[in-house]
Amino acid sequence: MSPGFITLSVGRSGNAINLLVPQAPPVHSSATSKAAAFDYAADLILCYISSYSSAELIAAFHHILSNSYNAGIEATTIRRPIFLAFFLIDNLIELGFRDSAGKLVTASGITTAPSKRSAGLAHFAFRSTVDPSTLDPTLEFLLPLP
């Protein structure tokens, strides 16, 4: 079941805004649901980083979950394997070597010996094909609406 949303106030008096954030899932909920709720609220609050003092933002973070530190650790634990999956060889589609301007470098400038490498060779471009649900079928994503 998806969590309900609650109003979270950021700022004080005249400059305060109300944001709708997911209600903190119960302690016994899966780590993914707790992480999703924390990430959604954290991303939303961070959109206003230039408009509020650090004290006001920290105060808002303290109201996200009963223990936002643990939720942050759980979110990182869940995100890490997904992030790393983008760089696994099996998930990469090569687009070729590029120069510093992003232009394709032909095979004549490519060598396995770094000392003989073309001076214009800057990086390797690739596309990654990762379906996060294959890593964890319980993942849910929340997308804030404008």
Query: Who contacts 47 (Cβ-Cβ below 8 Å, separation ≥6)?
Result: none
| Residues sharing a CB contact under 8 Å with residue 139, sequence separation 6 or more, in sequence order | 32, 36, 78, 82, 132, 133
Q: How many CB atoms lie within 10 A of CB 71?
A: 23
**Contact present, 88 and 134 (Cβ < 8 Å):** no
Question: How would you classify the pairing of strands 17-22 and 5-10?
Answer: antiparallel
pLDDT in tens, 74-116: 777 777 888 888 888 888 898 888 888 888 887 665 767 777 7
DSSP string across 67-119:
THHHHHHHHHHHHHHHHHHTTSGGGEEEEEEEETTSPBPPGGG--S-GGGS-T
Q: List the chain pLDDT tens, one digit each, 146 residues.
A: 445 888 888 888 778 888 888 887 777 777 777 777 777 888 888 888 888 888 888 777 776 655 556 666 777 777 788 888 888 888 889 888 888 888 888 766 576 777 777 777 788 888 988 887 777 777 777 777 76
- pLDDT over 70 for what percent of the chain? 85
- Rounded to two decimals, what is the model's pTM? 0.45
- d(Cα 67, Cα 58) in Å, to the nearest integer? 13
Identify the pLDDT of residue 1.
40
